[in-house]
Amino acid sequence: MTPALRALEAAGIAFDVCEYTHRSDDRPDYGREAAAELGLSEHEVFKTLLVSTETGELVVAVVPVSCRLSMKAVAAAAGTKRVTMCDPAAAERSTGYVVGGISPIGQRKRLRTLIDESAVRLDIMYVSGGRRGLDIGLAPAELVALLDADLAALIA
């Protein structure tokens, strides 16, 4: 039971657990692997990325695995001039999860979260469940509410 699953259960949110066998750590695109292994569209599966603002604030960006994160769009949505990708080790320390298994839910430290607006067109979106090989399917509105997230255009 990961912190993400515990947080969803504690909040009384309905979700589906989807597990698959993570094949290899030398495949850096964990989100696309999840979509392929689970037989889902890459538009339904979302990756969790952390960026750092010029003041050092970490911000979570949740975007479809089919798309690239727009740093300019994330900066605008975060109300800052510039963001950079967070160092993987810093992301792991902050969230309590390993890269490739970082969930936007149940992170060690609550961070401001931005979710790409494309999520609201879906009945169910899939995000990491807190470890490689584990995804969670849930209603986008439930995720937004749970995380007090902002919806924004985040993709290039």
Domain containing residue 41: CATH number? 3.90.960.10
Q: Categorize the per-residue pLDDT at 31 as very low, low, confident or very high, splitting at 50, 70 and 90.
A: confident
- Write the single-letter amino acid at 98: V
Higher pLDDT, 22 or 145: 145
Q: Indicate the burial class of 2 (C-beta count within 10 angstroms; 0-12, 13-18, 19 or more).
A: buried
Rounded Cα distance between 128 and 23, Å, is: 16
Q: Which residue has the higher pLDDT, 21 or 81?
A: 81
SS3 label, residue 23: coil
List all residues 6 or more positions away from 138 whose beta carbon is below 8 Å from its beta carbon.
Answer: 8, 13, 14, 15, 16, 124, 125, 127
Per-chain mean pLDDT for the chain? 94
Only one residue has tokens 């990756």, namely 47
Tokens representing 7 are 């947080």
- Please compute the mean of the pLDDT values over residues 19-35 and round it to a whole number: 80
Q: State pLDDT tens for residues 32-70.
A: 889 988 999 999 999 999 999 999 999 999 999 999 999
| Structural domain span for residue 132 | 3-152
1 CB-near residues (< 8 Å, 6+ apart):
none
Each residue's pLDDT tens digit, 86-142: 999 999 999 999 998 999 999 998 999 999 999 999 999 999 999 999 999 999 999
pLDDT score, position 23: 75
Q: What pLDDT is recorded for position 21?
A: 86
User: Which whole-number Å values give the CA distances from 131 to 62, 98, 121, in the listed order?
Assistant: 16, 7, 26
Q: How many domains does the chain have?
A: 1
Cα 4 to Cα 59: distance, rounded to the nearest angstrom: 18
